[in-house]
Structure 1
Amino acid sequence: MPVSRTERLLNLLIALLNTRYGLGRSELRDKVYHDTSDNDVAFARMFERDKNDLRRMGFEVETLTDAGWAEDDSTTTRYRIGKESNRLPEVQFGPEEWTVLLLASQLWERAALGTAARSAVRKLQSSGSLAAVELPAGVQPRIKPAGQAFDDLVAAMHARHPVTFTYLAGSTGREEVRTVEPWGLGSRFGQWYLMGFDRARKSVRHFRLSRFTSAVTTLDRDSYSPPAGFNIREELDRLPELPLRTAVVRVRKGRLLALRRRAEQRGGTAPAADGAADDGGYDTLRLPFRDPEVLAEEIASYGPDAVAVEPEELVEAVRRRLRAASEFSAAPKPRYEFPGTGPRGTRKGTSEDQLQRMLQLVPFLVHNQGLRIEEVAAHFGISRRQLENDLHILICSGLPGGYPDDLLDIQWEDGRVYISQDLDLTRPVRFTTEEASALLTGVETLRGLPGVADGGALEAVALKLSAAAGDVGRRAAALSGPTVAPAAMAVHDTVRDAIAGRRQLRLTYLSPQRDSLTVRDVDPIRLYSQDDVWYFEAYCHLVQGIRNFRLDRVEELVPNGRGASAAAAGAGGVPERLFTPNDGDTTVTVQLTRQGRGLAEDYYAERVAELPDGGMVADIRFGNTAWLPMFVAQHGGTARILAPTGLGDAARHWLADALAKYEG
């Protein structure tokens, strides 16, 4: 019976780690691969693929040749992996430093870097026990990267492949195809920027991800070398903020209270040309803005309730979004089928994922003998069945020959796991580029966050991580996160004090979706953010349920003299998801293009079905379906409603009414 790919990779790794002189291809083919076929070409391809997989996981596969022989001579070339060069250096952290590390690892909202950050922390935990730490009461900042384009750009940047995408040029207003060597990716002024070498223009350019009008395509057959010492944070610090400008927007009378308040704060309520309300019952507002694409996304989401008048680039940006959303919503429905009844759609685990987990599992078991199997599974975020599958592969793996003393020896008796033969796999593998980037960027992002840890702990963690990461740590300079310090600091402090003291608050809140101002009593549970936008979750006595409130929409917040009720007592800890589901939520089937597929993860899709064009269909739960037309318009042709049919029809009619304001 052929071994699994994971077991083959593990046996190859153990063999190469435990040879000083090196093993030739014929020895590996016989003792590790047990390949008795005559197909030399097929074996050579498989061996090269496996070597590349091990290199991607951080192992340096050395090629050794005797003097006078060529490296391409397969009969004399030998291979090995040096143990010390591939191991993570031992590093110790104190309680405050562990606090910083855990917060940094939990920053990434999306899976790509979130998975890498959690893997990096498990490697640091593998060689010892986690220090007893207490995270700040209910405080959890998070980074929400800019859609699928972010994941694609990070992967291309770390692999050093050029990318192509369609870009809406700010200077000309035209869509152009760009081919770029991605040097760095960072957040400034509430926007994500790509900086790199534009091959067509033969110069260094920066690109705002909000102006991407297509999915990112990676040119994986091509490569480049970024300039030495490039630091995206330093480059973005020199980037000037867009100038403040004024937009003229017609707003339906009695609607869009939040938009009106922004205009009033700037003295921007303007009369219509004839001194009366516009035809159809609209008022004219003057709104401050910097980026027309950002404002266009908001104006488009209001549909027929708001109509951009000037400047013309704003008008065109809104029209473009509405037209794309309308055309996509009217397109034929795709054929799709949800796979099985498993958990919500996430990236399927690969052999490399499983092998990397097992290489963390062995040192973890060495330093934590006798843990209950459920505790081990929970530590690695997998089920007991997945863990037992890993353990079965491990006990069948070892040195070539397969003698009892040459195999990993792991037992799990009475629900507890022990390891007695570890084949010197007692230290975790060094960080990958993604792991180092995720943790180091996360630590840097925490600067300025109140009440997390003092500056000394942040500096110490950054220095220790950089030393442990080595060369791959320097690549973290290609990634820079947003500032997570809350703008509404007074509100943040009031909520945080109420959480710590278990006190109830009287809240006056502006809800844009409901277009109303309400007063309610709330029991704060936790504070968290997506980039620089902060929320607090609380039990709301007005609706008798858990709700989320944005800090920048709080009009007034004061203690009401009562203690928090028992309804909020059981909601401790850090939530996996930003929005808490409720029994009354509606499941909506949404189609997403390749460019918009990241929304499935942003909105915690219950299940997904892949489409041939790279898009997907997702089942997502929404608490308030009245705003779904806003959701479709906001994402401008990358999302549409398939079911329930009534919601899809309502969105199409709503988009048609909005588009008619611009097209006749």
Structure 2
Amino acid sequence: MSASRTERLLNLLIALLNTRYGLRRSELRQKVYHDTSSSEAAFGRMFERDKSDLRQFGFEVETVMDHGWSSDDPATTRYRIGKESNRLPDVSLTSAECTVLILAAQLWERAALGSAAQDAMLKLRAAGGLTEAELPAGVQPRIKPAGQAFEDVITAMHAQHPVSFTYLAGSTGREEVRTVEPWGLGSRFGQWYLVGFDRGRAARRFFRLSRFTSAVSVLDKDTYARPAGFNVRTELDSLPELPVQSALVDVAAGKLLGLRKRATEVPATEVLPDNALAPEAPGSVPDGGWDRLSVPFRDAEVLGEELASYGPNVVVSAPPELAAAVRRRLKAAADFAASPAPAIAFPDTVPAKRTRKRTSEDQLKRMLQLVPFLVHNQGLHISEVAASFGVTRKELEDDLRILICSGLPEGYPDDLLDIQWEDDHVFITQDLDLNRPVRFTVDEACALLTGLETLNGLPELAEGSALESVTVKLMAAAGEEGLKAGSIAVPQVGPENSANLATIRQAITDGVQLHLTYFSAQRDSMSERDVDPLRLYSLDNTWYFEAHCHSAQGLRNFRLDRIEGLEPNGRKVTEAARPAEGFPVKLFTPNDDDTLVTVELAPQGAGLADDYYAERTSPLPDGGLIAEIRFGSTTWLPMFVAQHGGAVRILAPAEVADAAHEWVIAALSRYGG
């Protein structure tokens, strides 16, 4: 959409909103389009495209027929947009309801629907529905990003486009290309599932996202219709949980304390199962200094991802499908590392984060939110307005310049939008019926309503009436779009260890230190620490707390499920204890003295750039990325590369890349190279 088309659509919208009886097409052609050169057929096609665009922005163009008085008086077609049918209804929220709603929106901070949640909150603020609310320091739940496949499927599902991907079938162990109509996405048993219609098998099927072995291709030239009344939660309730199995793995002596905690040692004299690898086969127990363990698991792919990260410190003896899952990841990582490296080049104007390229459609959508926002927030500083919309001051001023030149067809001074930003404070005195935001889109309704549903897992929120009342209000405001929220089912965020959670929350409230006995998976060791607890937060049902660690003399994040011992030490928190900036808290907090690592991400791993807060990114022709990421420690990066088998490789520094490659090759040699 060109800039001129953006202006034309805005003027067309204003004209159709500000007419009671409707405007004839000839009037629109003359007064809005100023079109005198094209044929009637060409103008008709352009007008139909513009009506379709306005429909995508939430404005339905009504057709009104004036029937003539007689056969000599022909019927006349007029067009208009109803002022109420496309607007977000008034939503009045209490302070407690705003607190709950902000937490629900923040769930999607870096996951899919994050921008949709923020757009929805902007609309509520533009409508004057949000009040000041203080967020609780001890509750900051979030939904864990489920990878690039999740992002792509969400986009296709809401646009009703089929998708294609390569899938590792659990029943056959073979990789197959599937073409699927995505009906819903949901989380069960710690895994994300796609529920949809498999066109190749002409039946409904479930697909685990962790078994996707390629990037998702969206078939945007094709469409489908979701079954009426579909609800992904109901569909996922029919899924049986996989049975518990036992894996035999050989672990280097003194290594992998975390794995040993949930395993049992197998005596050397015990008879191996029939499906164990032969003693002389790759994967058989190495010579000396190794322990054979029995590890319970349900899904070979999930355990395979973990075991692959342990590299040469572990070898799978049984079952064969688990060994194959580990080897496949290691082989993909080795092949990726051995492929020709792309040239490392970043744009001259480097964005702080990986962002989607802004389009003219984004600009028009933003301007339609900007006018009601200014109406309800008169006199804001221009930098504050720009920050609210996540744009630069220049981008905002470009929007404002287009807006002040837009208005009714006749173009008299009183018929134009009147916006002024003298002394850097923005005021609007003429809004031309754009003073209320457009109703929620499907993405926006899903982001807020599924977020509110997720908060039901937190007792301190579910017990109050604010969660229930704000859900009812949002459902009423979302209308039909809210009913489509049934296409997403998010994981529960309730903690497994509520006692530790309560202890930490109380320590944060009282301002007292805690003494930890903590297992570090990266260092594969236990440690004793005194910390000043600052904030609690979660990714799905995995809970963390941010604290000032006196041993490390800095901010650290600790997983609650890795705490072996926890108790107050009787001392008050120190003056040095200050939380990191921003909300929600970041799982990874880069520092200036961290090592700057350049990585290449395959298309299916592109989302890792966001997960690890990449400082610079550069897109590659195949859909992958080159990214610069800061890491406080590089010793665990070989594990990171092996775990994501073929989705990421280190490009620089060279010594880190070499260490990762050697780690993968040494591990792969355990399985025959």
Q: TM-score, structure 1 length as denominator?
A: 0.94
Q: How much identity, in percent, do the aligned residues show?
A: 67
Query: CA shift at 1:108, angstroms?
Result: 0.6
Q: Deviations over 1:180-219 (max 9, x none)?
A: 1111101111110011111222221111100111111122
Tell me what 1:145 maps to. 145
Q: Secondary structure at the match of 2:357?
A: coil
- Which ranges in structure 2 are unaligned for 5 or more consecutive residues? 69-74, 272-283
The amino acid that maps onto 1:305 is: N
The amino acid that maps onto 1:272 is: A
**Structure 1 residues 281, 23: closer, same or farther in 2, change over 3 A?**
farther
Tell me what 2:18 maps to. 18
Tell me what 1:375 maps to. 384
Tell me what 1:636 maps to. 645
1:272 aligns with 2:264: no
**Structure 1 residues 109, 241: closer, same or farther in 2, change over 3 A?**
farther
1:459 aligns with 2:468: yes
**Structure 1 residues 81, 505: closer, same or farther in 2, change over 3 A?**
same
Query: CA shift at 1:411, angstroms?
Result: 1.2
Moved more, 561-570 or 24-33: 24-33
Tell me what 2:324 maps to. 316
Quick one: distance in 1 between partners of 2:251 and 2:630?
30
Moved more, 55-64 or 439-448: 55-64
Contact 1:53 1:352 in 2 (8 A): no
Once the two structures are superposed, the pairs formed by residues 30-429 of structure 1 within 5 Å of their partners are: 30-35=30-35, 37-38=37-38, 46-64=46-64, 78-110=78-110, 112-128=112-128, 130-263=130-263, 268-273=264-269, 278-335=286-343, 337-343=345-351, 344-429=353-438
- Find the partner of 1:553 among 562, 568, 582: 562
Query: CA shift at 1:26, angstroms?
Result: 4.6
Query: CA shift at 1:46, angstroms?
Result: 5.0
- Which ranges in structure 1 are unaligned for 5 or more consecutive residues? 69-74
Quick one: distance in 2 between partners of 1:654 and 1:323?
12
**Structure 1 residues 44, 503: closer, same or farther in 2, change over 3 A?**
farther
Tell me what 2:511 maps to. 502
Quick one: distance in 1 between partners of 2:396 and 2:597?
34
Tell me what 1:71 maps to. none
Q: Secondary structure at the match of 1:335?
A: coil
- Find the partner of 1:432 among 417, 441, 444: 441
Quick one: distance in 2 between partners of 1:596 and 1:217?
14
1:569 aligns with 2:565: no
Q: Deviations over 1:519-573 (max 9, x none)?
A: 0111111111111111111111101011111110011111111111111235476
Quick one: distance in 2 between partners of 1:384 and 1:505?
44
Q: Deviations over 1:371-407 (max 9, x none)?
A: 2323323333333333222222211111123211111
Query: CA shift at 1:172, angstroms?
Result: 0.8
Contact 2:86 2:439 in 1 (8 A): yes
Q: Deviations over 1:336-358 (max 9, x none)?
A: 53112332221122222222222
Moved more, 635-644 or 130-139: 130-139
Query: CA shift at 1:320, angstroms?
Result: 0.6
Q: Secondary structure at the match of 1:110?
A: coil
Moved more, 612-621 or 314-323: 612-621
Tell me what 1:72 maps to. none
Moved more, 447-456 or 428-437: 447-456
Quick one: distance in 2 between partners of 1:59 and 1:389?
23
Q: Secondary structure at the match of 2:315?
A: strand
Query: CA shift at 1:66, angstroms?
Result: 5.8
Q: Deviations over 1:44-95 (max 9, x none)?
A: 6654443333222222133455669xxxxxx976543222110001111112
Q: TM-score, structure 2 length as denominator?
A: 0.92
Q: Secondary structure at the match of 2:108?
A: coil
1:469 aligns with 2:478: yes
Quick one: distance in 2 between partners of 1:277 and 1:199?
44
The amino acid that maps onto 2:290 is: Y
Quick one: distance in 2 between partners of 1:311 and 1:660?
18
After superposition, the CA RMSD in angstroms is: 2.2
- Find the partner of 1:543 among 549, 552, 562: 552
The amino acid that maps onto 1:354 is: Q
**Structure 1 residues 67, 242: closer, same or farther in 2, change over 3 A?**
farther
- Find the partner of 1:486 among 495, 517, 522: 495
1:627 aligns with 2:636: yes
Moved more, 26-35 or 362-371: 26-35
Quick one: distance in 2 between partners of 1:138 and 1:455?
16
Contact 2:145 2:611 in 1 (8 A): no
The amino acid that maps onto 1:323 is: K
Contact 1:336 1:611 in 2 (8 A): no
Query: CA shift at 1:576, angstroms?
Result: 5.7
**Structure 1 residues 274, 196: closer, same or farther in 2, change over 3 A?**
closer
Query: CA shift at 1:492, angstroms?
Result: 1.1
Query: CA shift at 1:241, angstroms?
Result: 1.2
Q: Secondary structure at the match of 2:604?
A: coil
Q: Secondary structure at the match of 2:614?
A: coil
Moved more, 84-93 or 574-583: 574-583
The amino acid that maps onto 1:479 is: I
**Structure 1 residues 252, 366: closer, same or farther in 2, change over 3 A?**
same
Contact 1:193 1:207 in 2 (8 A): yes
Contact 1:278 1:284 in 2 (8 A): no
Query: CA shift at 1:473, angstroms?
Result: 0.8
